[in-house]
Amino acid sequence: MRSRRTRDVLLAYLMTVPAFAAFVIFVFYPLVKTVYLGFYRVAPFPGLPSHYVGFSQYSTVLSHSQFLAPLFNSTLFVLFTVPTGIAIGLGMAVAAHRQLRGIRLFRIVFSSTIATSVAVASVIFFTLLDPTTGLFAYWIGQRGGTGLLGNPTFALPAVAVVSVWQNLGFSFILMSAALASVPEDLLEAAAIDGASGGRRFFRVTMPLISPTLFFAAIVGVIAGFQTFGQIDLLTQGGPNGHTNVLLYQIYTTFYINADTGTASVMAVALFLILVLLTLVQFSIIQRKVFYADER
Amino acid sequence: MRTSVRTSLRYLLLAAIAVVVLFPIYITVVNALLPVQLIGHRPPVLFPSHPLWSDFSQAWSGGSLSQYLRTSAIVSISITVGSVATSVLAAYAFAFLEFPLKRVLFGLCLATLMVPAEVTIIPNYRTIQVFGWFDTYPALIVPFVASGLGIFLFRQSFRQLPRELRDAAVLDGYGHWRFLLRVVLPLNRPMLSAFAIFAWLGAWNQYLWPLLVTNTDARRTVQVGLRQLEGLSVSAPNVVFAGTILAALPIFAVLFLFQRQLVRGLTAGAVKG
């Protein structure tokens, strides 16, 4: 009997080892190492050793515009993309919610952008927004010049439009699932009580799907702070740093400028932001499970 | 009469949305079928009267796209198989076995969900160099063969199996492996396939990491390959359009085949019920 229990324990460790080996090497170790690298300032010339500076690098980098400006851009980007993405996705879901002939086809079309990756969407819009050959330039009656992506005011909103479009499919699927979970009888009861369509939507549907809206918002904000591909393919952070978001700044600092110390400090900051958001997300999911159990 | 007007209006609205959503894809397909001199033509050509398919073959061979797609297929399938396998094993241990430190280890699995790959790229990049994996398949695959999300979802799913099944299996003389392969896996197929699609999609769409650890066309995934392709937008715009379409086709195909699994995977945890 006892040997069987020992065998079970051995088996359990055997089964968890593959996953944990990967976690230790590629998640936990590098996480600690990133914090550690933030304590070392890289010498200005390659070949010289980096030296320990403790927390001073954290305080200088995190209060410097090289971090604050990208943080501001990322925040702005999230504000541009998240509310619009949810609102449009919800609008599409409401439009496709009614049972109509051929509605399945519309649903497939509405979710279709999920099949485009960030890179595919970016290249598509890169060609659309091309100042000389792109359709957009033709529509607004301009040819040549810098185009939207080269314009300090419009570059970030333009990138945001690309992201919103690319995420429409996901947003639509999520919102459709939420609408489908609203019990029909509640809406009918409200209709019998004389509530108009708009009132039913805002007083019955919205509260019931609010957990999904929160979920979509948090997932959107987390994804927004990890934005990279769009920037790399559309603007490379330009013009003049106006689309230089946090992850793109980390990438250039590390990969192009080889300033590992500064990049690590910013990576730690990004990690803390994301942890905070993830914790909020977990607490929302937990509360939802609790509600579900209660009913 | 009034309902038919309302129905037509609704169709009009649906059609308008469909046009806006599809237009960027449509115009890319059109441009991919146009001869080079008609791209950027004023007024724009919105329908290819003489579709030209040679752009696709040019993108396929000239733009190294076939190579990119092959790499992407190998990498994304390996990551999917790997992460499903490691997650199934670990989830089985967490669901059916008793062992010291079980709760701590499971807590660590959940903790990995809070560490996105983006924040650990700096040491991971160095690790890849130390292992001598730069510009190789292992660099693209190995860091992603374990998934905290997979372990979590599978454990939840496994624990919902009725206890009697385990008892009956023990009575029939099933050991843990046979129970896992004959009972647990077949009964959890919906969750396994939903996660597999989700993992595949994530792996296929990766951009930053493959960009960091590859530097030759032989190991570039198709997402990073698009970056190379974008560079041709002046000299050979038709190839860019055709390449973009070719790069997107595999996901369209997979998603069309696995719609149900995907919707289940995407909405898991987001919507109760």
Residue A122 falls inside a structural domain:
yes
**pLDDT of the residue at A291:** 46
Q: Are residues B139 and B262 in the same domain?
A: yes
- Closest in B124, B229, B263 to A30, CB measured: B124
Q: Is the peptide bond before A183 cis (omega within 30 degrees of 0)?
A: no
Q: Are residues B98 and B206 in the same domain?
A: yes
Q: What is the domain range of residue B94?
A: 64-267
Test mutation, A105, A123, A149, A290, chain B, max B CBs within 10 A: A123
Q: How far apart are CA A288 and CA A209, in angstroms?
A: 11
pLDDT at position A177 over 60: yes
For A151, residues 6+ apart whose C-beta sits below 8 A from its C-beta are A239
Residue B157 falls inside a structural domain:
yes
Query: What are the pLDDT tens digits along chain B (273 aa)?
Result: 567 888 888 899 999 999 999 999 998 888 888 877 777 777 777 787 777 777 777 777 766 888 899 999 999 999 999 999 999 999 999 999 999 999 999 999 999 988 989 999 999 999 999 999 999 999 999 999 999 999 999 999 999 888 888 888 888 889 899 999 999 999 998 889 889 988 998 999 999 999 999 999 889 999 999 888 888 777 778 788 888 888 888 888 888 888 777 767 666 655 543
Spatial contact of B92 and B184, defined as CB atoms under 8 Å apart = yes
Residues of chain A contacting residue B114, judged by C-beta atoms under 8 Å apart: 274-275, 278-279
Average per-residue pLDDT for chain A: 88
Structure-derived torsion over alpha carbons of residues A99, A101, A106, A107, reported in degrees to the nearest 10: 40
Residue B257 falls inside a structural domain:
yes
Residue contact A216–B270, C-beta within 8 A: yes
Residue A27 falls inside a structural domain:
no
As given in the structure block, the two tokens for residue B182 are 């004959």
Q: Are residues B27 and B133 in the same domain?
A: no
**pLDDT of the residue at B61:** 74
Spatial contact of B151 and B84, defined as CB atoms under 8 Å apart = no
Spatial contact of A252 and A237, defined as CB atoms under 8 Å apart = yes
**pLDDT of the residue at A97:** 87
Answer whether B170 touches A (CB < 8 Å). no
Q: Give CA separation, A178 vs A13, A145, A183, B181, B259, in Å.
A: 40, 45, 11, 35, 17
Q: Are residues B74 and B186 in the same domain?
A: yes
Residue contact B25–A124, C-beta within 8 A: yes
Number of domains in chain B: 2
pLDDT at position A35 over 70: yes
Spatial contact of B228 and B220, defined as CB atoms under 8 Å apart = yes
ipTM reported for the complex, 2 dp? 0.87
Residue A97 falls inside a structural domain:
yes
Length of chain B: 273
Q: Are residues B101 and B143 in the same domain?
A: yes
Answer whether B252 touches A (CB < 8 Å). yes
**pLDDT of the residue at B272:** 42
- Closest in B211, B227, B263 to A177, CB measured: B263
Q: Are residues B47 and B92 in the same domain?
A: no
From A65's Cα to the closest Cα of chain B, the distance in A is: 20
Return the residue matching tokens 């989830």: B91
Q: What is the domain range of residue A136?
A: 65-294
Q: How far apart are CA B244 and CA B32, in angstroms?
A: 9
More confident residue, A261 or B52: A261
Residue B58 falls inside a structural domain:
no
For residue A143, name the pLDDT band (cuts at 50, 70, 90). low
CA angle, residues B254, B259, B262, in degrees to nearest 5: 90
Say how many CA atoms lie within 13 Å of B192 toward its Cβ.
Answer: 18
**pLDDT of the residue at A228:** 95
Residue A48 falls inside a structural domain:
no
Q: How far apart are CA B265 and CA A61, in angstroms?
A: 39
CATH of the domain at A190: 1.10.3720.10
Q: How far apart are CA A102 and CA A254, in angstroms?
A: 51
Q: Are residues B188 and B128 in the same domain?
A: yes
Residue B59 falls inside a structural domain:
no
Answer whether B248 touches A (CB < 8 Å). yes
pLDDT at position A80 over 80: yes
Closest CA to B109 of B129, B131, B130, B93: B93
Residues of chain A contacting residue B269, judged by C-beta atoms under 8 Å apart: 215, 285
Number of domains in chain A: 1
Q: Is the peptide bond before B123 cis (omega within 30 degrees of 0)?
A: no
> For A251-265, what is the mean pLDDT?
92
**pLDDT of the residue at A288:** 57
Q: Which residues 39-68 of B are in CB contact (within 8 Å) with A?
A: 39-40, 42-44
Residue A125 falls inside a structural domain:
yes
Q: Are residues B145 and B202 in the same domain?
A: yes
pLDDT at position A81 over 70: yes
**pLDDT of the residue at B1:** 54
**pLDDT of the residue at B268:** 60
| Tens digit of each residue's pLDDT (9 = 90 or more) over A108-121 | 899 889 888 999 99
- Closest in B18, B114, B211 to A275, CB measured: B114
